[in-house]
């Protein structure tokens, strides 16, 4: 060996000391992983890319197609906002589907069968279902039972009562004629109306969107405005997101779901927060129901079936933890979007519709596994 | 001592049905001292500090805050008197950020017209400062508490209590689940807090932890005080024996002096 062979340098001691021995900097990727919406954002991109590839020639991304899947997504979104905040607060509400049927029947019954003005019927439906929401919350808090069980009971009680009320008063489970009753009402258009109608007829005039060429609506644009359903969806998502991430109350929602006892110790009114979230969930269910009744012009006692699970699935796809204390309204809204786009997209693509359920189950499983993994990243538990 | 104690509890008894958890305990906490409360399992330490922090009402006995007799109706009321407790497992919510935890229940707000929002700018700044003054360098205030070590979590909880005006800080076994390094971190935090004039009540099973920071030591046994000793008046071995059940009580009477 000659002198030329390099002598091994001693490790740079200074450098080694400067670094914290507990590896403290998290990689960029890991940090991004810790955002609750990440899975939903990725999922949304994948879903859109997929349908662009398989269904772009079917009209899915034409004006009518877009209106079709965004209406369905907006429906899911409205329910997902309520379910999301409630889940982050540590509770579930399985009765929102029944609440939809109930509110709808109340509106139709009061306005059509009993001749109330539609605005009064809508307000009455809201008051009743908010009270039911509060009762759900109160029962969960007072009994200390899991909300899963308490609201499962409400699911049956409310559905049964709805059918019972409908049958005993009108001998039917479907009550029509709401459109006629709502003509000229001031509150009905807030749920059943459309906005930007001027913009859309202008767009049709300049040829951006097509007009009907035949039938009773010949000459009118195929899309004549943005339905209030979507306005409610976007409004509720913005409201929920700001409430959760930017306010004191939002911090209390996280705290109530993260660890109710720890929250109580520092003076967070956990019971009030949870009950209010049950009330808010009931509110979103009634918004959904009212929009639907105004759109269809009728109410049916069996409306809203399985909606509670669809809302929960949207929320979980959106990155919320079933155990509470963690989640995102934006994520839940994207979850609802994925839900709507896939459901309608498979229809456009001509895929057997039963496969939608298969897809849903698989994506739910994936989302839960991903969320659990992210939870471990955050809390460091094994 | 001529100073008035921050809080003084005299002849506290607490019964749970037929169980007598406390049978006349007298303890006082001075400003700037670390008062260690020692005792075997079931000695009544937790029951005693819960009485001090307003969770339980004493069956018998009196509580004085800065010389005035008080009766705590709730933990909130005790907190309003500056009595703060850090519970080991219930202190922090792991999924929430350090800032959100630090301000939980007392979020700073800023108004925009009729709306009021969580003032994150202020919240982050103050939380970071409070951590730094306790010797913890956080990566960022939005870091989830779950990513902190057990010792760091205790420190966040302690600095939160101090920031919100604790005069008496009660720590129920803050070091029992910690390793050597994290324990010394918590002990250093206790030392800092004490130097700022807060009275610390430090509950532990570990005599060495107590000896490291304690100014006075009170040993509880079966709901009674075996005595209070000042630092330097008692050795680690003597304290250990006392805790073991006061078997050698007679032998120790001398060293405990008239304080029994
Ligand atoms: N809520 C209660 N109801 C009935 N008995 C109780 C209650 N709380 C405490 N006790 C009893 O009072 C005694 C003192 O309990 P305490 O929890 O204060 O002990 P400790 O000194 O904190 O013990 P450890 O070191 O194990 O924490 C025990 O015998 C316990 O069983
Ligand atoms: Mg104890």
pLDDT digits (tens, 9 = 90+) for B88-113: 665 689 899 999 999 998 999 999 88
Report whether pLDDT(A289) > 70: yes
pLDDT value, residue A360 = 86
Residue A12: predicted pLDDT: 38
Q: Which of A234, A265, A277, A299 is nearest to A102 (CA)?
A: A299
Query: Measured between alpha carbons, how far is B164 from B84 in angstroms, rounded to an integer?
Result: 9
- Torsion sign across C-alpha atoms B100, B102, B104, B106: negative
Domain-embedded: residue B123: no
A248 pLDDT higher than 90: yes
Provide the pLDDT for residue A3.
Answer: 44
What's the domain count of chain B?
1
Q: Give the E-state strand segments of A141-265 in sequence order.
A: 174-175, 194-195, 226-227
Task: List A residues 302-321 in contact with B (Cβ-Cβ < 8 A).
Answer: 321
DSSP per residue over A120-159, as a string?
Answer: HHHHHHHHHHHHHHHHHHHHHHHH---HHHHHHHHHHHHH
Confidence grade of residue A28 (pLDDT, cut at 50, 70, 90) = low
What was the pLDDT predicted at A251? 96
A37-52+61-377: CATH topology: ABC transporter involved in vitamin B12 uptake, BtuC (1.10.3470)
- Residue B88 has what pLDDT? 67
Provide the pLDDT confidence category of residue A13 given band limits of 50, 70 and 90. Answer: very low
- Residue B124 is assigned to a structural domain of this protein: no
Q: What is the pLDDT of residues A319-359, one digit of tens each?
A: 999 999 999 999 999 999 999 999 999 888 888 888 888 98
User: Residue A350: what pLDDT?
Assistant: 86
Which ranges of B85-215 would DSSP assign to H, the alpha helix?
98-103, 120-133, 150-163, 180-195, 207-213
- What distance in Å separates the CA atoms of residue A75 and residue A130, rounded to the nearest whole number? 19
Mean local confidence (pLDDT), A218-233: 89
> Do residues B196 and B33 touch, judged by C-beta distance below 8 A?
no
> Is B72 within a domain?
yes
- Tens of pLDDT along B25-38? 999 999 999 999 99
Distance separating alpha carbons of residues A291 and A98, to the nearest angstrom: 16
Kindly state the helix (H) or strand (E) to which residue A333 belongs, with its residue range: helix A329-348
Return the residue whose CA atom lies nearest to atom 14 of ligand 1. B44
Return the pLDDT at A381: 60
Ligand 1 mutation pick, B12, B13, B19, max ligand atoms within 8 A of CB: B19
Residues forming a β-bridge with B10: B62
Q: Are A268 and B94 an interchain contact pair (Cβ–Cβ within 8 Å)?
A: no
Instruction: With a cut of 70, say whether residue B160 has pLDDT above it.
Output: yes
Pull the structure tokens for residue A76.
């899911």
Read off the pLDDT band of B127 (50, 70, 90): very high
For A30-84, how does the pLDDT look when each residue is reduced to its tens digit (9 = 90+)? 666 667 888 889 889 999 999 999 888 888 898 889 999 999 999 999 999 999 9
Q: For position A16, what pLDDT does the model report?
A: 35
Structure confidence at residue A19 (pLDDT)? 41
The alpha carbon of residue A257 is apart from the nearest alpha carbon of chain B, in Å, by 10
> Given CB atoms, is A259 within the 8 Å cutoff of chain B?
yes
Tokens representing A173?
A: 């489970």
Of A142-146, A264-268, B62-66, give the lowest mean pLDDT range: A264-268
- CA–CA dist B244, B226 (Å, integer): 11
Q: Does the pLDDT of residue A24 top 70, yes or no?
A: no
Q: Whole domain around residue B198: which residue ranges?
A: 7-93+149-241
Q: Which atom of ligand 1 is nearest to the CA of B44?
A: 18
Give the residue carrying structure tokens 């420190």.
Answer: B155
Quick one: tokens of B12?
Answer: 């506290």
Nearest partner of A263 among A272, A252, A274, A273, judged by Cα: A252
Q: Can you tell me the mean pLDDT for B219-240? A: 87
CA distance B156 to A115: 62
Flag whether the ipTM exceeds 0.85. Answer: no
- Among B13, B16, B48, say which to mutate for ligand 1: greatest number of ligand atoms within 8 Å of CB: B16
Name residues 173-212 of chain B within 8 A of A (Cβ): none
Q: How far apart are CA A102 and CA B222, in angstroms?
A: 60
Query: Do B43 and B223 touch, CB atoms closer than 8 A?
Result: yes
pLDDT at B3: 79
The secondary structure of residue B147, as a DSSP letter, is: G
pLDDT at A212: 82
Give the pair of three-digit tokens for residue A207: 């040829």
A382 reaches B (C-beta below 8 A):
no
Q: Which of A220, A363, A246 is nearest to B120 (CA)?
A: A246
Q: Which helix (H) or strand (E) holds A55?
A: helix A38-55
Contact A311, A75 (CB under 8 A): no
| Res. A259: pLDDT tops 80 | yes
3-state secondary structure of A16: helix
Does residue B143 sit in helix, strand or coil?
coil
Work out the number of other CB atoms within 10 angstroms of the CB of residue A242.
14
Tokens 């939809």 appear where?
A100
In a domain, B116, yes or no: no
Widest distance between CA atoms in chain A: 107
Contact B147 A378 (CB under 8 A): yes
**Residue B22 host element (H or E):** strand B19-29
Residue A317 has pLDDT above 90, yes or no: yes
CB atoms within 10 A of CB A231: 18
The β-bridge partners of B227 are B219
Are the beta carbons of B156 and B99 closer than 8 angstroms?
A: no
CATH number at residue B20: 3.40.50.300
Flag whether pLDDT at B252 surpasses 70: no
Give the atom of ligand 1 at the shortest distance from the alpha carbon of B17: 4
Please say whether the beta carbons of B57 and B141 come within 8 A: no
Q: Which residues contact A347 (CB under 8 A, 6 or more apart)?
A: A353
Specify the ligand 1 atom closest to the Cα of B14: 12
Give the closest-approach CA distance of B39 to chain A in angstroms: 25
Interchain CB contacts (distance < 8 Å): A and B = 79
CA distance B84 to B193: 13
Residue B240 binned pLDDT confidence (cut-offs 50, 70, 90): confident
Distances in whole angstroms, Cα of residue A94 to Cα of each of A87, A136, A158, A371, B157: 11, 10, 11, 21, 36
d(CA B12, CA B71): 12
């Amino acid at each position: 060996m000659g002198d030329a062979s390099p002598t091994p340098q001693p490790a740079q001691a200074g450098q080694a000391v400067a670094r914290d021995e507990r590896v403290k900097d998290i990689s960029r990727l890991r940090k991004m992983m810790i955002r609750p919406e990440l899975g939903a954002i990725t999922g949304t991109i994948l879903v859109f890319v997929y349908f662009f590839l398989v269904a772009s020639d079917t009209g899915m991304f034409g004006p009518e197609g877009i209106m079709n899947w965004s209406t369905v997504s907006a429906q899911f979104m409205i329910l997902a906002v309520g379910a999301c905040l409630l889940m982050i607060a540590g509770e579930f509400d399985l009765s929102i589907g029944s609440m939809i049927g109930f509110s709808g029947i109340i509106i139709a019954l009061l306005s059509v069968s009993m001749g109330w003005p539609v605005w009064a019927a809508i307000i009455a439906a809201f008051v009743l279902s908010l009270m039911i929401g509060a009762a759900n919350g109160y029962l969960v808090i007072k009994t200390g039972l899991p909300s899963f069980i308490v609201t499962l009971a409400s699911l049956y009680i409310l559905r049964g009562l709805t059918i019972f009320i409908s049958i005993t008063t009108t001998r039917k489970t479907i009550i029509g004629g709401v459109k006629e009753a709502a003509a000229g009402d001031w509150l009905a258009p807030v749920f059943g109306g459309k906005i930007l109608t001027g913009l859309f007829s202008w767009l049709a005039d300049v040829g951006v969107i097509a007009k009907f060429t035949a039938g009773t609506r010949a000459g009118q644009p195929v899309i004549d405005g943005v339905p209030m359903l979507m306005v409610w969806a976007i409004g509720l998502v913005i409201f929920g997101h700001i409430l959760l991430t930017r306010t004191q109350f939002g911090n209390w929602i996280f705290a109530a779901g993260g660890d109710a006892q720890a929250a109580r110790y520092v003076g967070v009114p956990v019971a009030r927060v949870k009950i209010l979230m049950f009330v808010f969930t009931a509110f979103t269910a009634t918004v959904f129901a009212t929009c639907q009744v105004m759109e269809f012009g009728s109410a049916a006692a069996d409306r809203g079936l399985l909606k509670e699970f669809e809302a929960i699935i949207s929320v979980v796809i959106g990155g919320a933890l079933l155990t509470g204390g963690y989640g995102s309204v934006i994520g839940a809204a994207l979850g609802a979007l994925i839900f709507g786009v896939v459901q309608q997209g498979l229809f456009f693509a001509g895929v057997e519709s039963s496969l939608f359920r298969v897809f849903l189950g698989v994506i739910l499983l994936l989302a839960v596994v991903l969320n659990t993994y992210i939870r471990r990243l955050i809390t460091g538990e094994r | 001592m001529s100073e008035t104690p921050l809080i003084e509890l005299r002849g506290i008894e607490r019964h749970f049905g037929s169980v007598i958890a406390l049978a006349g305990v007298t303890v006082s906490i001075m400003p700037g001292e670390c008062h260690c409360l020692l005792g075997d399992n079931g000695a009544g330490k937790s029951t005693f500090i819960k009485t001090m922090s307003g969770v339980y009402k004493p069956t018998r006995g009196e509580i004085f805050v800065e010389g005035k007799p008080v009766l705590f109706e709730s933990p909130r009321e005790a907190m309003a008197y500056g009595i703060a407790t850090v519970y080991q497992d219930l202190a922090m919510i792991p999924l929430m950020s350090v800032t959100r935890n630090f301000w939980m229940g007392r979020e700073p707000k800023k108004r925009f017209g009729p709306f009021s929002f969580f003032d994150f700018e202020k919240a982050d700044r103050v939380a970071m400062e409070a951590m730094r003054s306790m010797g913890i360098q956080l990566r960022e205030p939005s870091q989830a508490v779950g990513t902190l070590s057990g010792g760091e979590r205790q420190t966040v909880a302690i600095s939160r209590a101090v920031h919100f005006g604790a005069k008496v800080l009660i720590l129920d076994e803050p070091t029992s689940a910690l390793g050597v390094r994290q324990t010394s971190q918590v002990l250093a935090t206790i030392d800092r807090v004490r130097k700022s004039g807060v009275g610390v009540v430090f509950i532990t099973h570990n005599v060495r932890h107590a000896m490291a920071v304690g100014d006075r030591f009170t040993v509880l046994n079966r709901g009674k005080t075996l005595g209070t000793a000042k630092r330097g008046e008692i050795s680690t071995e003597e304290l250990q024996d006392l805790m073991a059940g006061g078997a050698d009580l007679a032998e120790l009477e001398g060293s405990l002096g008239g304080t029994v």
